[in-house]
Amino acid sequence: MSKKIKNLIETDFTARFKNLDGCAVVNPRGLNGMKNNALRRRLHEKGMKMLVVRNSLARRAADSSKLKGFEKLFDGPSAVIFGEGVETSNIARLLVELKKEDEKLELRGVFFDGEAYQGQKGTEQVSKFPNRVEAISQVLGAVMGPARQLAGILNQGGMLAGLVAAIEEKKAADEPAPEAVPSA
């Protein structure tokens, strides 16, 4: 491959990797054309892409992006799976699901937030991380939990006050009226 073509490919990779926060790397070897197309179709449905890369060019392109350091996942033929606006945990979840369907798919790992989670175990670990929406709901649940408990206690306190008032009224109704004292 000529230097001019390599530079064009590297420029393309740089443009694709520029806005990515994370990605996954798989080994596409062992997948025939039908399985490869089915994999790409499933990825496309979820807003993701698979890009077969030349490792040296991908390394150079990643140096100027947030993906600097993801070259740890390259070992032999590699394909980078990414999606703009797609969270890395969602990519990992889909890959774990696809791995269950086809054992020939080799998961090299996932890279995001400056860390490389290598191999199938790393991919499974990332797939268990909450995505943005799940994380926000967990935080809101943690914040709202004590407030909900306090509101319940206060509500029960109001019920308690009502019971005390009812008991007082009943006691007042059961007691005989005090005799009027004649004035002298």
Mean pLDDT split into 10-residue runs, the chain, 184 residues: 86 83 84 86 88 84 78 83 82 86 84 82 81 72 70 64 74 67 59
Structure confidence at residue 156 (pLDDT): 65
Residue 73: predicted pLDDT: 82
Prediction pTM value: 0.66
Q: Which of 179, 49, 68 is nearest to 113 (CA)?
A: 68
Residue 181: the pLDDT is 58
Strand order across the 22-27 sheet? 49-53, 78-82, 22-27, 106-112, 115-118
**First-to-last CA distance in the chain?**
125
Say which CATH superfamily domain 3-129 falls into: Ribosomal protein L10, N-terminal RNA-binding domain (3.30.70.1730)
For residue 92, give the nearest of 66, 124, 51, 132 by alpha carbon.
124
Question: CA-CA distance, 65 to 145, in Å (whole number)?
Answer: 40
Which residue's structure tokens are 């600097």?
68
